[in-house]
Amino acid sequence: MEKIGAALRLMIWSIFVRVANLPPRWLRVDLSAVWTICSSNGIVLSRQQLEAIERYERELRYWNERINLVSRKDIDHLLERHILHSLAVLRAVEIPPKARCMDVGTGGGLPGIPLIIARPDLQMVLVDSVRKKVRTAEMLARHTGHRFVEVRCARVEELAEREPSFRASFDVIIARAVAQTRTLLEWTAPLVKPSGMHLLLKGGDLQDEIEAARAAFPMATILERPLRLRGVPWLEEQQKKLVIVTWGSVQNSSHFPAATQCAT
């Protein structure tokens, strides 16, 4: 019954978003809509996880006034354009249980912090080269109560040399609007396990970018997938996509389930 109720609320919300002729400020996603959208997309959040998202959004808004963590024009759309955008990864690809992940260019903790809230089994390393952003992300991550999160203030291309234990040790390298695919792979290929993958959140026409990455890394399988969440038309309108890079003999199909993958 709960799933039916969530689906009905999502249908009403989707119709309202698409047909209501209202100014953008009236179309903001609120916390109850986040629960409805996530539930209807197979992303199951407990009350405690929803409260953690609420606190993260509130604190990100507060600190963004002092440190430029996200675009100021998006400040009234943090839930839709940043937090739900990050969580959409969980509908597009399966992240293995207890995976060790690195969020490159995390800024204010996106997408890493929303992911560890929804998937508390993940081990996350948040990386940024700007110290004040790293300190803020560390504080925001600590407030989630997550036990398996680390932060590094570093240029990611130097990490394999600076921290030898990081070499070939990550199951997932994730980045959101950081750099060209080829450049990101050059920076981070030494960090990912042979069985690991890169998840790159991007937008727009990626054909030339992906062709360049394939030419530079012929041993990699590079796929492009649209990022979609029922109830969030903004993702489709802005052509948000996920570039998935796997290596060697990894069976790509194993990363693309339809099942829910959010532990509580």
Tens-place pLDDT, residues 14-61: 444 444 443 344 345 788 899 999 999 999 999 999 999 999 999 999
Strands 240-247 and 220-226: antiparallel
pLDDT of 182 higher than 90: yes
What mean pLDDT do residues 143-171 have? Answer: 94
Which tens digits make up the pLDDT trace of 203-255? 999 999 999 999 999 999 999 999 999 999 999 999 999 999 999 754 444 45
Higher-confidence position of 208 and 12: 208
Query: Can you tell me the distance from the alpha carbon of 125 to that of 148, in angstroms, rounded to the nearest whole number?
Result: 8
User: Of 57, 51, 16, 163, which Cα lies nearest the Cα of 102?
Assistant: 163
Q: What is the mean pLDDT of residues 52-75?
A: 91
Q: Name which of 94, 96, 78 is nearest 86 in CA terms.
A: 78
Q: Which residue has the higher pLDDT, 25 or 129?
A: 129
pLDDT (0 to 100) of residue 185: 97
Is 76's pLDDT higher than 80? yes
Does residue 157 surpass a pLDDT of 60?
A: yes
pLDDT over 90 at 5, yes or no: no
Q: Chain centroid to CA 49: how far?
A: 16
Tokens 């539930």 found at: 39
Greatest mean pLDDT among 92-101, 244-253, 255-264 lies in 92-101
Q: What is the pLDDT of the chain when averaged over all its residues?
A: 87
Q: What is the pLDDT of residue 75?
A: 85
Q: What pLDDT shows up at residue 256?
A: 47
The pTM score is: 0.85
pLDDT(260) > 60: no
Name the more confident of 196 and 250.
196
Amino acid 17: pLDDT: 44
Contacts 24+ apart (CB under 8 A), 130-133: 132/67, 133/67, 133/69, 133/106, 133/107, 133/108
pLDDT value of residue 129: 96
pLDDT given at position 20: 41
Instruction: For 224, list phi and psi in degrees, rounded to 5.
Output: -115, 130
pLDDT at 146: 87
Q: What is the pLDDT of residue 31?
A: 85
Strands across the sheet with 192-203, in order? 149-153, 123-128, 100-104, 170-176, 192-203, 240-247, 220-226
Q: How many CB atoms lie within 10 A of CB 172?
A: 24
Fold of 2-255: Rossmann fold (3.40.50)
